[in-house]
């Protein structure tokens, strides 16, 4: 079961002695050209377009954004407008920024609290049912997010099953307005939507801990709790961090959960302001500047995650 029985079939990335032999130098790079062009034109260039719009001008007649390609002619007016509206307490984006960070932080924490025990169960205790549980766990990844949210709308409506159950139990007299802008419903919606992304790295991390480590800890007299806190948990810090990042990042770009489960001004997130601004031509450049601010904030966890997973994967296959 350990990696040793597959190790001879694998080869290390660092020392691939014969991998290049027999091929002309240009042979393999040419296979990468389409993908590199694709990424250049549809990923790198669009980023530059965001900059050119955010630092661009407005057409004096149509009020549509005019791109400015030359960085020397960039006008920081719109960006500084956006930033001051984020930092000042009475700014139009201030509350939404704080709210977004709060919602995402609480949701990430809940994802971890729900995801860790489940991943632990999957990796260690599911036994013969592991295959079944893995299949059921993966199912939401290919279910439509919209259908999953629609399901909750059906359950949480005024005449939905949850309200009717609570009424039948005599706990409430009138239907509870779950879908009328409740922050906690929105947070639970985010948790429901993104918890599988948390479980994935946690499961991978827990599943990779060799049984021998746990056996050694127990043989040396550690209690189960001590084994968990001194052996299992320290080996999963990386996985926890990875889970927090890959579950948290999409939440920052989420606007549809808010629109489906809360849909009030008081629960709007950054994502809502971004998509709303794209509907009105004059505000498109504001939307671009919001994207820019968001990206600057998120680039740190993104780069950290990439650096970390590359290193870990290299260590595993070496």
Contact between residue 247 and residue 103 where contact means Cβ atoms under 8 Å apart: no
Residue in 62, 98, 125, 180 binding other proteins, rule: CB under 8 A: 125
Q: Which of residues 73-112 bind other proteins (CB under 8 A)?
A: none
* Piece in contact with other proteins (CB under 8 A), picked from 84-92, 102-110, 135-143, 166-174: 135-143
Question: Contact between 59 and other proteins (CB under 8 A)?
Answer: no
* Piece in contact with other proteins (CB under 8 A), picked from 35-43, 73-81, 91-99, 100-108: 35-43
Q: Is the dihedral of CA 89, 92, 97, 102 positive or negative?
A: positive
Residue in 79, 201, 240, 244 binding other proteins, rule: CB under 8 A: 201
* Piece in contact with other proteins (CB under 8 A), picked from 71-79, 88-96, 104-112, 238-246: 238-246
Question: Contact between 70 and other proteins (CB under 8 A)?
Answer: no
Question: Contact between 240 and other proteins (CB under 8 A)?
Answer: no
CA within 13 Å, CB half, 98:
11
Q: Which residues pair with 66 in a beta bridge?
A: 57
| Phi, psi (degrees; rounded to nearest 5) at 57 | -120, 175
Contact between residue 269 and residue 99 where contact means Cβ atoms under 8 Å apart: yes
**Which tokens hold the place of 178?**
């779950």
Q: In angstroms, what CA-CA distances link 213 with 121, 217, 231?
A: 18, 6, 7
Contact between residue 53 and residue 288 where contact means Cβ atoms under 8 Å apart: yes
Q: Which of residues 246-305 bind other proteins (CB under 8 A)?
A: 246, 249-250, 252-256, 259-260, 263, 271, 274-275, 278, 284, 287-288, 291, 294-295, 298, 302, 305
Nearer to other proteins, 16 or 72 (CB): 16
């Amino acid at each position: 079961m350990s990696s040793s029985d597959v190790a001879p079939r694998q080869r290390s990335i660092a020392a691939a002695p014969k991998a290049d032999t027999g091929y002309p130098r240009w042979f393999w790079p040419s296979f990468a050209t389409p993908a590199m062009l694709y990424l250049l034109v549809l990923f790198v260039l669009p980023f530059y377009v965001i900059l050119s719009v955010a630092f661009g001008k407005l057409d004096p007649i149509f009020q549509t954004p005019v791109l400015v390609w030359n960085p020397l002619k960039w006008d920081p007016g719109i960006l500084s407008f956006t930033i001051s509206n984020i930092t000042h307490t009475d700014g139009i984006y201030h509350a939404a920024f704080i709210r977004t960070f709060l919602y995402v932080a609480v949701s990430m924490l809940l994802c971890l609290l729900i995801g860790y025990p489940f991943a632990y169960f999957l990796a260690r205790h599911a036994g013969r049912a592991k295959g079944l549980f893995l299949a059921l766990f993966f199912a939401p990844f290919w279910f439509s997010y919209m259908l999953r949210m629609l399901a909750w709308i059906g359950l949480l409506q005024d005449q939905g099953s949850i309200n009717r159950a609570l009424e039948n139990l005599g706990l409430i007299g009138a239907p509870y307005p779950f879908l009328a802008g409740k922050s906690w419903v929105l947070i639970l919606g985010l948790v429901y939507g993104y918890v599988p992304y948390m479980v994935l790295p946690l499961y991978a991390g827990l599943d990779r801990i060799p049984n021998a480590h746990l056996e050694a800890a127990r043989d040396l007299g550690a209690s189960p709790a001590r084994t968990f806190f001194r052996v299992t948990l320290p080996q999963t810090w990386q996985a926890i961090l990875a889970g927090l990042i890959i579950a948290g990042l999409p939440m920052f770009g989420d606007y549809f959960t808010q629109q489906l489960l809360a849909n009030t001004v008081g629960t709007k997130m950054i994502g809502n302001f971004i998509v709303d601004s794209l509907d009105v031509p004059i505000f498109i450049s504001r939307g671009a500047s919001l994207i820019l601010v968001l990206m600057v904030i998120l680039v740190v966890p993104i780069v950290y995650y990439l650096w970390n997973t590359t290193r870990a994967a290299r260590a595993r296959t070496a």
